[in-house]
């Protein structure tokens, strides 16, 4: 039995005992917990799957026309819509399955308090993410002051930013440091040196597609990293410390939905090298580079503003058509035909346009695009997706805290990684009224990655919401034994295919798709942005845009790919 196995068993046993004692002592005084599933219309997705399996659906009740059709209203689809508008194209329709656009970056409210339903922050983008920088400038989040770019501090994460529950106490930061030995600290330093070494061997960037060129899509050293798992690379480097491995596994599950045994070494290094590196305790940190933008509703703050100009309607009049399932996309010599089911009118609509932007997850795109191109079927065969769970827990008053670091925005538990729990963010942390934050109700948004569970997707589809609520409350009862007494409602959002997992070999395959250049793209957009060529998988009349085409799901990749596809479609 390894020390980690013993520690894990002790932790799980202690957590279960504490949760049981807490719940048993409070049952008589506590009313039933309210809650339910929210956010994702899983029934719509299953209906679409059944129709696609049969290959038949009702005949179209109406035929509509536009210059461009966008299939999918996640970050990529919204970015494509923005690029079309800036390029002077207003005659387009964006078709979105859910009742609100935003994909994994939507926000919601529980008992009137805003909270995220998915992605909850955006790192301050570096110069490789120029398109994201331009967006933030447009939204008033950054501006030039005395010749230097500055971000609006109201939208930067307030301090303290993050903490870890480790060895029975809260500590600042997420890397385990409280009471660890010199051997652990030495491995932290060795990993920092390894990240720096790989960064010097080949440049990493966020978004990664900025590095892909027809001459050399992926550098030789990165191809070697892409060929093995992160866990195998760590073993080869002799990095076996339990605390370091826990932290790196947490990072993989946090960004990629699965642990170091599944993601590639390229992805594991990219997590650090493309943004701010890895810093061992005591090393200098560039706080400006490590800053993040966040809001009570998470990245839903951004997607709502991207959607607002599109005049959301279900039955006509606006460019954004929500509650609409794309059934079929057929590319012809003279145009594209799209059949879509309007859930508000309970009827099929046929859309005709010269061009279509397919901003759907790859596995959906491969099913709805007729006679799909080889790169689409190849990507669908190679990609795998992690199920994901978000539990928004409303509490009526602040929790009793364990000793150590003060309450923070991001709160992580040093726990068994096989459980998939990633901790929680406090939606009240970004409130400007500190009195309400300290004394009033708030929402804790708990995240659980299920990419390492073979039955994770089936469990999401079949288990009742109480199952997931109980699991979240039990996990968080370890540092907060009075959580159940203060919790009034738990809303569960399920993502059966939340994010693509960057498995070994995936980057080499994807980095060679969509590298042909288009010479007719606009040079300058209506807001003054300079348009630049971006890799976009395309056919004669289809442009594909989704974070899946980068092999992992982050805002920068999705937005940049959508922006590039929008410019391709605008070029005609």
- Please indicate, yes or no, whether residues 394 and 340 belong to a single structural domain of this protein: no
- In the chain, what are the helix, strand and coil shares in percent, each to the nearest 5? 40, 25, 40
- Please indicate, yes or no, whether residues 491 and 413 belong to a single structural domain of this protein: yes
Judge whether residue 563 has pLDDT over 90: yes
The CA–CA distances, whole Å, from 476 to 447, 472, 491 equal 11, 6, 16
pLDDT category at 418 given cuts 50, 70, 90 is low
Rounded Cα distance between 82 and 527, Å, is 11
93 forms beta bridges with 69
* Among the ranges given (131-135, 374-378, 518-522), the one the predictor scored with the smallest mean pLDDT: 518-522
CB neighbours of 133 closer than 8 A, spacing ≥ 6?
125, 127, 142, 149
Q: Which two tokens stand for residue 372?
A: 């799909």
- Please indicate, yes or no, whether residues 438 and 333 belong to a single structural domain of this protein: no
pLDDT category at 572 given cuts 50, 70, 90 is confident
Rounded Cα distance between 153 and 58, Å, is 52
- Please indicate, yes or no, whether residues 389 and 372 belong to a single structural domain of this protein: no
pLDDT, tens digit, for every residue of 353-406? 999 999 999 999 999 999 999 999 999 999 999 999 999 999 999 898 888 999
Residue 252 lies in a domain: yes
Q: How many helices (H) and strands (E) does the chain have?
A: 18, 23
CB neighbours of 301 closer than 8 A, spacing ≥ 6?
107, 295
3-state SS class at 228: coil
Judge whether residue 20 has pLDDT over 50: no
Give the pLDDT confidence score for residue 237 in this predicted structure: 97
3-state SS class at 181: coil
Give the pLDDT confidence score for residue 27 in this predicted structure: 43
3-state SS class at 339: strand
- Domain end, chosen from 466, 499, 532, is at 499
- Please indicate, yes or no, whether residues 254 and 224 belong to a single structural domain of this protein: yes
pLDDT, tens digit, for every residue of 276-299? 789 888 876 666 667 899 999 999
Query: Which residue has better confidence, 367 or 217?
Result: 367
- The whole-number average pLDDT for the span 478-494 is 95
CATH code of residue 438: 3.90.660
Beta strands in 317-420 (DSSP E): 320-321, 324-331, 336-342, 347-353, 355-358, 385-395, 410-413
Which residue, among 234, 235, 236, has the nearest Cα to 251 in the 3D structure?
Answer: 234
Rounded Cα distance between 93 and 310, Å, is 9
Judge whether residue 434 has pLDDT over 60: no
- Range picked from 67-71, 396-400, 412-416, 519-523 for highest mean pLDDT: 67-71
- Please indicate, yes or no, whether residues 198 and 88 belong to a single structural domain of this protein: no
User: Please, what is the angle between helix 242-256 and helix 3-26, to 10°?
Assistant: 60
Cα 175 versus chain centre, distance: 22
- Please indicate, yes or no, whether residues 186 and 275 belong to a single structural domain of this protein: yes
pLDDT, tens digit, for every residue of 135-147? 999 999 998 887 7
Residue 144 lies in a domain: no
Give the pLDDT confidence score for residue 523 in this predicted structure: 65
Which residue, among 277, 199, 268, has the nearest Cα to 239 in the 3D structure?
Answer: 268
Judge whether residue 332 has pLDDT over 90: yes
pLDDT category at 49 given cuts 50, 70, 90 is confident
CATH code of residue 189: 1.10.405.10
* Among the ranges given (255-269, 430-444, 545-559), the one the predictor scored with the smallest mean pLDDT: 430-444
Judge whether residue 350 has pLDDT over 80: yes
- Domain end, chosen from 280, 298, 322, is at 280
Query: Which residue has better confidence, 189 or 19?
Result: 189
Give the pLDDT confidence score for residue 58 in this predicted structure: 83
Judge whether residue 18 has pLDDT over 50: no
Structural domain boundaries, residue 363: 47-101+312-380+506-571
Number of independent structural domains in the chain:
3
Rounded Cα distance between 465 and 260, Å, is 29
Give the pLDDT confidence score for residue 39 in this predicted structure: 78
For the chain, the average pLDDT equals 87
pLDDT, tens digit, for every residue of 290-323? 789 999 999 999 999 999 999 755 545 579 999 9
- Please indicate, yes or no, whether residues 365 and 512 belong to a single structural domain of this protein: yes
Q: What is the pTM of this model?
A: 0.91
Residue 461 lies in a domain: yes
């Amino acid at each position: 039995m390894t020390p980690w196995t013993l520690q894990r068993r002790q932790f799980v046993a202690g957590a279960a005992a504490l949760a049981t004692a807490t719940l048993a002592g409070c049952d008589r005084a506590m009313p039933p917990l309210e809650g339910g599933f929210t956010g994702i219309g899983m029934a719509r997705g299953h209906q679409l799957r059944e129709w696609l399996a049969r290959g038949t659906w009702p005949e179209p009740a109406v035929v509509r026309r536009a210059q461009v059709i966008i299939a999918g209203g996640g970050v990529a689809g919204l970015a494509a819509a923005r690029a079309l508008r800036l390029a002077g194209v207003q005659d387009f329709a964006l078709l979105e399955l859910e009742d609100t656009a935003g994909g994994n970056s939507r926000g919601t409210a529980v008992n009137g308090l805003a909270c995220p339903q998915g992605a909850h922050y955006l790192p301050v983008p570096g110069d490789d993410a120029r398109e994201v920088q331009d967006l933030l400038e447009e939204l008033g989040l950054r501006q030039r002051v005395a010749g230097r770019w500055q971000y609006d501090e109201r939208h930067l994460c307030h301090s303290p930013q993050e903490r870890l529950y480790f060895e029975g106490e809260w500590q600042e930061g997420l890397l385990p440091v409280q009471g660890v030995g010199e051997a652990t600290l030495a491995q932290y330093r060795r990993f920092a040196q390894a990240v720096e070494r790989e960064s010097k061997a080949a440049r990493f960037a966020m978004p990664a597609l900025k590095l892909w060129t027809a001459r050399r899509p992926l550098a030789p050293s990165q191809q070697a990293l892409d060929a093995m798992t992160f866990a195998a690379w760590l073993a080869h480097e002799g990095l076996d410390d339990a605390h370091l491995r826990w932290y790196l596994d947490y990072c993989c599950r946090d960004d990629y939905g699965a642990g170091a045994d599944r993601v590639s070494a390229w992805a594991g290094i990219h997590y650090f090298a493309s943004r701010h590196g890895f810093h061992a305790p005591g090393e200098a940190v560039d706080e400006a580079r490590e800053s993040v933008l966040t809001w009570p509703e998470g990245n839903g703050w951004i997607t709502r503003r991207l959607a607002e100009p599109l005049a959301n309607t279900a039955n006509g009049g606006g460019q954004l058509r929500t509650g609409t399932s794309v059934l079929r996309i057929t590319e012809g010599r003279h145009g594209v035909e799209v059949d879509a089911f309007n859930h508000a009118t309970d009827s099929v609509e046929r859309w005709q346009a010269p061009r279509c932007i397919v901003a759907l997850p790859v596995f959906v795109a491969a099913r709805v695009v007729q006679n799909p191109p080889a790169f689409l079927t190849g990507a669908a065969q190679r990609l795998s997706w992690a199920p994901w769970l978000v539990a928004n827990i409303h509490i009526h008053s602040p929790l009793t805290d364990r000793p150590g670091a003060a309450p923070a925005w991001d709160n992580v538990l040093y726990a068994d990684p096989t459980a998939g729990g990633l901790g929680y963010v406090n939606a009240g942390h970004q409130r400007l009224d500190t009195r309400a934050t300290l004394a009033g109700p708030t929402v804790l948004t708990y995240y659980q990655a299920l990419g390492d569970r073979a039955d994770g997707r089936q469990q999401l589809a079949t288990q009742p919401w109480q199952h997931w609520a109980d699991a979240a409350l039990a996990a968080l009862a370890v540092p907060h034994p009075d959580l159940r007494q203060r919790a009034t409602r738990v809303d569960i959002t399920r993502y059966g295919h939340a994010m693509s997992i960057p498995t070994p070999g995936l980057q080499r395959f994807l980095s060679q798709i969509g590298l042909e250049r288009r010479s007719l793209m606009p040079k300058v957009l209506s807001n003054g942005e300079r348009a630049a060529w971006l890799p976009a998988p395309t056919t004669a009349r289809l442009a594909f845009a989704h974070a899946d085409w980068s092999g992992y799901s982050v805002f920068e990749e999705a937005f940049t790919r959508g922006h590039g596809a929008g410019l391709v479609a605008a070029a005609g």
